[in-house]
Each structure stands twice: as structure tokens, then as C-alpha cells.
């Protein structure tokens, strides 16, 4: 039986990553840069202080077209898509019949179309899920010929405004078509770092030219997956397949804020998505476990998979587990997210993570760990 490793895909910026000295690693079926010569710590701090450029072209992009596209998509997600105005974007989740999260995604309306961005590891299953659930209701067009760049950090706006002045006046979660380096790009003022910034959908054939033009600015440095992970964790943002997955519901995942009121019990378009009865029951009655933020009280970080206990006593029963954990350069102490039994989910609760056979103290705290700096005008 063959044990050959499947070949990895490459983004349109692969050659540029190598030129910039990136260390490449397998990620979601792609060869991706985990860090550049600057190193993960400095890449993290640079993004918080100036502007970082991320290649996120491995993500899936899909266009939904047709007069009934918004109505159709609402049968798969518990959010208000019909009320989404042109030029706006919204966070959403696909759910299964048990209310579990199949993936989280971004939905934007631009003119008469909906533009969807899904996670790289889930994009094939997400496209199949939409093709099954939306067949005959709207046109589904995957966009593999487009790359996706993220420009993140407090100086991102000033940099992008030199290419397209209208970028500066966009507000958080706004979407527009802007001409960058002579080509039309779909730009959203959003991102995965907690900082102000943009995600830029650009034709793949022009991605390297745009990336080079952005990197020509002294404020902009290339940033890899390592810093992307520590930045998003400080911002309290979930990583699909780790902090949320098909076995966790939006209520357990502390994502009730993402469930539009119009789609909840008593709303004008309540329910009508997979697992709606489960999710509504959990909103009304509560859940037995919840996702929480955790601050390590020692210098040793507690990583994904570490068991959580209510006390340091060796006889204490496990009450949860960590799903993401790492040093947090901006926060100044190791942090984590994980699931705990609901009685232990209150802010300030002292818990203990088992790390290398030792119980280390952790306190439950509200997320984000570092204040988000989205531009709201």
C-alpha cells in the first residue's frame, strides 16, 4: 500500500516567500510561510506597531449569484444575510443537524452578489455543502483564480490609502471594489489580528505585483503563520478545527453574539438552518460547557490538549481542556482558550492546567486579551 504524502498546493506568492527567506511548512494542504528571517516574535510586534502583510490565498473564495442567493444562504447559517446591505460584511457559521459548527466564514454583499470566504482546510467540503444545500436556488461559483492578501496593523490604512484614497474612509466590516496597481480588487476592512486592516481579494495573476508594491513601503513587513496565530489568540479569535469544530455549537463556543436576533426565537426569520432547535434550546436553557479565555500565572505556556482541573490536588477531576495556547508578546504572559464545565466558566475562576506532569495556575478572563483596534469611524 502506498504511503506517499499527497503533493502540497502553492499560493501565487510561493516564489516571493522563498525570495524573502520564509521557512515553509505544510498547512491545510498548502506550502505556507510560518515565519521570515525577522522571526515570529518580531513579526508579531511589528504587526501591532506598524503593518504586516499576510498571504491568506489558501482560503476559499466563492461567489453566490441570483436574486434569491441571500434567502438561500440563510438556510445554512444562523445569521441575517437578507438584511446585509451592499458594501457590508458579516461573520457567519455553517451548522450541522446537531448544531455543531462545520466552519466559520465571512459573508459580504457587493452589488447583487454574495462573496464568501471560508477556511482553507474546509473549503472543498464547504463548497460541496453549498452545492447540496443551495442547488437550484442560486449560482455557486468557486473563485480559485483569486488570491487573498491581508494587510494588518495601525499603519495599514495610511499605506493602502496611497494606492486607493477611498480605503481610508472605509469602516470596520465595510467592503468595496478598489483599484490597486491597475487592477480591480475586492477589499474588506477586516482581519484576523484584532488590529485595523484590510483583506484584499486580487486576481491571482496580479497578486505578486500587489504584494511587492505593498512591501516596498517601509512600514510593511511580511508576516507568517506563527505570528498570525499569536495575534489572533491575543484578539480572542477562534481557530477552526481547534477552538470550534463540528462537535461544538455556537453557544458552547461563546459565539452567541454572531447569531442574528432576527434568526433567533421570536425573530422575524427564526430558525430554518441546520440544528436550529438544538441551538435555540441551548440559548434558552444554557450549556454544560463553554469556551473561555485563560491567563497563565506562570511563564510556562499551556498548549492545546492540556487538561484543566479545578484544583492543584492530584485527586481533582478534569473539568476541561485547552484548545489553543501560546506565549502572548503584547499581553505579556502566556494565554490560552479552552472549554470548561459551565460552573467553572466565570471570569476570575482559578483553574489548573496539567503541563509536563505539573499543575500550573490559570485564571479565567474575558477575551480579547489585547484590546481590538478595529476602525469604526
What's the count of helices (H) and strands (E) in the chain, helices before strands?
Answer: 8, 19
What's the chain's average pLDDT?
97
The per-residue pLDDT for 4 is 44
What's the average model confidence in pLDDT over 161-183? Answer: 98
Q: Is the model's pLDDT at 63 over the cut of 70?
A: yes
Q: What is the pLDDT of residues 8-45, one digit of tens each?
A: 999 999 999 999 999 999 999 999 999 999 999 999 99
The CATH number fitting domain 288-365, selected from 2.60.40.3950, 3.40.50.880, 2.40.30.110, 2.60.40.1180: 2.40.30.110
Q: Which residues lie below 8 Å from residue 253, measured CB to CB, with a gap of 6+? A: 101, 238, 243, 244, 291
Q: Rounded to an integer, what distance in angstroms lies between the CA atom of residue 148 and that of residue 118?
A: 12
Q: Rounded to an integer, what distance in angstroms lies between the CA atom of residue 145 and that of residue 60?
A: 10
Sorting pLDDT into bands at 50, 70 and 90, what band is 314? confident
Residue range(s) in the chain whose domain bears CATH number 2.40.30.110: 288-365
Fold of the CATH domain 8-286: Gyrase A; domain 2 (3.30.1360)
Residue range(s) in the chain whose domain bears CATH number 3.30.1360.120: 8-286
Q: How far is CA 285 from each of CA 130, 140, 252, 375, rounded to the nearest angstrom?
A: 31, 37, 12, 35
The per-residue pLDDT for 5 is 52
Q: Rounded to an integer, what distance in angstroms lies between the CA atom of residue 256 and that of residue 262?
A: 13
3-class state of residue 94 by DSSP: strand
Sorting pLDDT into bands at 50, 70 and 90, what band is 2? very low
**What letters, b where the CB count within 10 A reaches 16 and e where it falls short, cover 254-289?**
bbeebbbeebbeeeebeeebbbbebbbebbeeebeb
Q: Which three cell numbers stand for residue 94?
A: 455553517
Amino acid at each position: 500500500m502506498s504511503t506517499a504524502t499527497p503533493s502540497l498546493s502553492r499560493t501565487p506568492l510561493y516564489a516571493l516567500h522563498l525570495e524573502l527567506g520564509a521557512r515553509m511548512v505544510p498547512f491545510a494542504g498548502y506550502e505556507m510561510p510560518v515565519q521570515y528571517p525577522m522571526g515570529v516574535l518580531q513579526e508579531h510586534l511589528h504587526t501591532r506597531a506598524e503593518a504586516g502583510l499576510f498571504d491568506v490565498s489558501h482560503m476559499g473564495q466563492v461567489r453566490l449569484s441570483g436574486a434569491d442567493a441571500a434567502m438561500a444562504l440563510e438556510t445554512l447559517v444562523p445569521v441575517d444575510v437578507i438584511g446585509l446591505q451592499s458594501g457590508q460584511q458579516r461573520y457567519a457559521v455553517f451548522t450541522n443537524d446537531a448544531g455543531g459548527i462545520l466552519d466559520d466564514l465571512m459573508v459580504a454583499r457587493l452589488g447583487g452578489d454574495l462573496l464568501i470566504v471560508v477556511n482553507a482546510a474546509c473549503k472543498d467540503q464547504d463548497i460541496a455543502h453549498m452545492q447540496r444545500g443551495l442547488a437550484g436556488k442560486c449560482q455557486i461559483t468557486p473563485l480559485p483564480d483569486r488570491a487573498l492578501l491581508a494587510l494588518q496593523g495601525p499603519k495599514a490604512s495610511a499605506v493602502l490609502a496611497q494606492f486607493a484614497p477611498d480605503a481610508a474612509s472605509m469602516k470596520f466590516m465595510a467592503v468595496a471594489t478598489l483599484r490597486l496597481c491597475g487592477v480591480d480588487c475586492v477589499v474588506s476592512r477586516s482581519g484576523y489580528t484584532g488590529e485595523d486592516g484590510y483583506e484584499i481579494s486580487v486576481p491571482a495573476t496580479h497578486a505578486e505585483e500587489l504584494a511587492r508594491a505593498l512591501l516596498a513601503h517601509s512600514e510593511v513587513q511580511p508576516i507568517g503563520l506563527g505570528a498570525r496565530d499569536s495575534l489572533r489568540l491575543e484578539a480572542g479569535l477562534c481557530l477552526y478545527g481547534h477552538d470550534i469544530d463540528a462537535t461544538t455549537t455556537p453557544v458552547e463556543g461563546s459565539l452567541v453574539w454572531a447569531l442574528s436576533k432576527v434568526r433567533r426565537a421570536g425573530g422575524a426569520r427564526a430558525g430554518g438552518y441546520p440544528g436550529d432547535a438544538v441551538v435555540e434550546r441551548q440559548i434558552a436553557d444554557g450549556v454544560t460547557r463553554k469556551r473561555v479565555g485563560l491567563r497563565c500565572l506562570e511563564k510556562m505556556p499551556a498548549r492545546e490538549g492540556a487538561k484543566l482541573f479545578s484544583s492543584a490536588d492530584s485527586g481533582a477531576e478534569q473539568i476541561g481542556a485547552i484548545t489553543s495556547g501560546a506565549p502572548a508578546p503584547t499581553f505579556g504572559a502566556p494565554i490560552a482558550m479552552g472549554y470548561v464545565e459551565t460552573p467553572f466558566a466565570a471570569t476570575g475562576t482559578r483553574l489548573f492546567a496539567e503541563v509536563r506532569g505539573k499543575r500550573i495556575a490559570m485564571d479565567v478572563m474575558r477575551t480579547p486579551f489585547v484590546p481590538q483596534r478595529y476602525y469604526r469611524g
